[in-house]
Structure 1
Amino acid sequence: MNTKLTASQAMVLAQEYKKKYSIGGVIHDDIERSVKFYSSFYRMDGPAWLVIVDITPNVFEGDDEITIVVSDEECAVDHVIDHNGISQLYHIPSNRDYSDEEFEALIDDNDEQKDLIE
């Protein structure tokens, strides 16, 4: 399979992202240990590079690592899977100050999606 990135390039992108967003932990220099390639990955178009960040010792429940998911197609970090397995998007600012109308629209959207599933 032809890829746009190498394992070492994916690792560099993850290290830069980790530094920019002050994500704790260590990405070990051993590429074989720290970087894994997948020809496809959940909710992504194309291949992905998963870069493991060691967060031991941790003081909370959950895994002792987080995963930075790098899109080969975009040559950029797509998201981070935290120690609980939840996707985080550090590069997208979160705006928690919704107007009443915006908040109600969000709730309505969620309800409509639930109705479609049921």
Structure 2
Amino acid sequence: MRKYNRTKEELDKIIEFVEEDFPRHHRKLEEITVNTVLTPREAIDLAKRYHQEHGLDGTVDERTESLLFDEAYTFRINPDDRENDDIRPAWRVTVDLEPNPFLFEDYTLIVSDPDKTVMGMLDANGHPVSDGNEITDEDIEYITSGEEAEKDKA
């Protein structure tokens, strides 16, 4: 692995870029600078419907003041041509989880503004959740039953 030592000027430019770019991905309603297709209420309603249809855990946060808007959400990266990444405006709707020994933090549903549909989910760390990497209640029971069996053997 090659290390790269940045000059103070290079580091300052990176920090400046991040500070300028970050707000467009986490805008509160009063900070939105582009025209939207969906209203905040419509984005929340779409997220609620998706949440119910897919039987997801938790409760959709219906407070518009907790809603965030992302003017340039990256739905898909094109590794061969980064200029052709799929980037569109999106609403970030939080889903609150009940206190639980296995699920510690909330997650976010991503509602595409121009498509008027839920296009994805972010875990508590902001990483996209894809099909197949979610832990179900049955998985948790299986994991803990194995731990209980090990304790009983000891």
Normalising by structure 1, what TM-score? Answer: 0.65
1:46 aligns with 2:80: no
1:13-59 deviations in Å (ceiling 9; x for gaps): 000000000001012332112x2111111334221100000113132
Instruction: Report % sequence identity.
Output: 31
Greater shift after overlay, 37-46 or 74-83? 37-46
Asked if 2 retains the 8 angstrom alpha-carbon contact of 1:45 and 1:73, the reply is: no
d(CA) in 2 for partners of 1:21, 1:89: 14
Report SS of the residue matched to 1:8.
helix
Question: Shift in Å at residue 88 of structure 1?
Answer: 3.0
* AA at the equivalent of 2:45: V
Aligned to 1:4: 37
Q: Structure 1 unaligned runs (5+)?
A: 95-118
**Counterpart contact for 2:97–2:103, Cα < 8 Å:** no
Amino acid at match of 1:48: A
Question: Any gaps of 5 or more consecutive residues in structure 2?
Answer: 1-33, 76-85, 133-154
Question: Normalized against structure 2, the TM-score is what?
Answer: 0.51
CA distance in 1, matches of 2:128, 2:107: 10
Match of 1:37 in 2: 69
Consecutive aligned runs of 4 or more in structure 1 exceeding 6 Å deviation? none
Question: What is the total number of aligned residue pairs between the two structures?
Answer: 89
C-alpha RMSD of the superposition: 2.0
Q: Equivalent residue of 2:38, what SS?
A: coil
Q: Structure 2: which amino acid aligns with 1:28?
A: D
Residue of structure 1 in register with 2:61 after alignment = 28
Letter paired with 2:69: F
Shift in CA distance, 86/46, structure 1 to aligned 2, threshold 3 Å: closer
Output the amino acid matched with 1:80.
M
Q: Distance in 2 between matches of 1:80 and 1:55?
A: 14
